[in-house]
Amino acid sequence: MSVPPSAEEELQEKFLDAAARGHVTQVTSLLSRVPSLINQTGNSGWTALMLAARHGHFHVAEELLSRGCDKFSVNPSSQTAYDVAKFWGHRHISNLLGRTDDGCLRVLPGSDLVPQENYFSRETLDRLSAKRTDTEWMEGRQRDAETVYLLFSSLSPMVSCSEDDGSEGRMKLCRFRCEAVRDLLQEPATVLVFLGVERRKKPSSSSSSPPQGVGKEPPAWFAVGTDEDAAELLKRCREKNCLFPKTPNRDLLKLSEEEAGVVAQARAVLAWHSRYSFCPTCGSGTRPEEAGHKRSCLNADCRSLRGVHNTCYPRVDPVVIMLVIHPDGNQCLLGRKKIFPVGLFSCLAGFIEPGETMEEAVRREVEEESGVKVGPVQYVSCQPWPMPSNLMIGCLAVAMSTDIKVDENEIEEARWFPRQQVIDSLFRGEPPTFVVPPRQTIAHQLIRHWVGINANL
């Protein structure tokens, strides 16, 4: 719904006033009209959630959280809604916002964590994994006129870019139909991966008509990995400003959340195909099966054909990434590698080793890289990272020691940063003390999460 600026200001005042007075029905009604009101601030710099927390309106806070409001934003006093509820003694609301005060775990959030969606993790397609072995169904979907094909060259998707370099999400995937890629699909070197079918949108409760396309299967999506010259592939696209990104760690972060989730699956599986064209067991060639989600050895005597082996299916490598919290609860440990941009500090991270738990991997990696010993570890959220195929397992951890001695082979510097410095780097306009990782990274979200659950009273 488009609202004139003056009218939107009036709606904003009504919305914040309703939250402060505990009128949950009016809050819900206004959000239904203008969803963007949910995280807006008034002249005081307070959000609706902060106002509800200040006045003890549990049901308003609950409604705002259910609609996805940002509970980690801070007011001009660097306080979150949790801080406000805690200060004014509204324990029922501070508990709702997730936090515990049990011994050493006083610096960690409560066990009732609100599910967090990270970049690359949005599932816009239904993978329909059970259909991967249905050859007849799969061939039918490949020929369907509505099927979407994404072209990849050297693991980079073809994208179109707007000329506005300053806008986020300006990069979009180029989508092709069957006729445009039919010749590529005939080439032996081409790898085809079934990604899934589009999820149907649920009809609104007020709609009496069935959703469009009911009775017809939703469009299927495939990723096409090819060795054809990139310049020749680009000629197939009718859109302007098309290219294959050269720096995926940076450029793929410009996709929308929906398209990033698709690329996370496609790029990771295609990367696996590029590394497993030969059998790791006997060295013979392999062929793709199950719609691109399995490779089988061509040697009939190879033992990889007997039983289930992790060399036959796409690999996912687990990595722990952790924000280490000082025993005083008001500082966090961040480090930087030599390859980082100037001033950037991030969470420590490392691969989980065979036979190792997530918690022990956190403790080992932190001590190896920084010399700091870690005690309690708590999982927060995870993020697929398709460069090439990692699962970043995000944790908070409490330090048992504070002296830093970096392993210069791993990182060049590590420091304890006070909460206020972190807030300044995240939210303030003035030059920050250090540069935080991009918002699309789980490191950024862990830092932001800690700021939100660490009270500033």
Q: Which of 32, 16, 24 is nearest to 62 (CA)?
A: 24
- CA-atom Rg of the chain in angstroms: 25
Above 60 in pLDDT, residue 113?
no
Select the more confidently predicted residue: 233 or 2: 233
Per-residue pLDDT of 368-427, as tens digits, reads: 999 999 999 999 999 999 998 999 999 999 999 999 999 888 899 999 999 989 998 988
What's the mean pLDDT when you consider all of the chain? 88
Q: Which domains does the chain possess?
A: 5-97 (1.25.40.20), 128-200+217-305 (3.90.79), 317-453 (3.90.79.10)
The backbone torsions φ and ψ at residue 190, rounded to the nearest 5 degrees and listed phi first, read: -70, 135
Q: How far is CA 145 from the centre of its chain?
A: 31
> What percent of the chain has a predicted confidence (pLDDT) above 90?
66
CA 438-394-292 angle, to 5 degrees, is: 85
Per-residue pLDDT of 248-296, as tens digits, reads: 888 999 999 999 999 999 999 999 999 999 999 999 999 999 999 999 9
List the beta bridge partners of residue 309: none
Give the containing element (helix H, strand E) for 136: helix 135-143
Instruction: Using CA atoms of 364, 368, 374, 377 in order, give the dihedral in degrees to the nearest 10.
Output: -40
DSSP assignments along 367-417, one per residue: HHHH---EEEEEEEEEEEETTTTEEEEEEEEEES-------TTT-SEEEEE
- pLDDT level of residue 205 (50, 70, 90 thresholds): very low
Residue 448 CA to residue 419 CA, distance in Å, equals 10
Q: What is the mean pLDDT of residues 51-68?
A: 92
Above 90 in pLDDT, residue 146?
yes
Per-residue pLDDT of 300-342, as tens digits, reads: 999 999 988 888 999 999 999 999 999 888 899 999 999 999 9
- pLDDT level of residue 8 (50, 70, 90 thresholds): confident
Q: Which of 344, 342, 367 is nearest to 334 (CA)?
A: 344
3-state SS, 57-70, equals: CHHHHHHHHHCCCC
Question: DSSP secondary-structure letter at 41?
Answer: -
Q: What is the pLDDT of residue 206?
A: 46
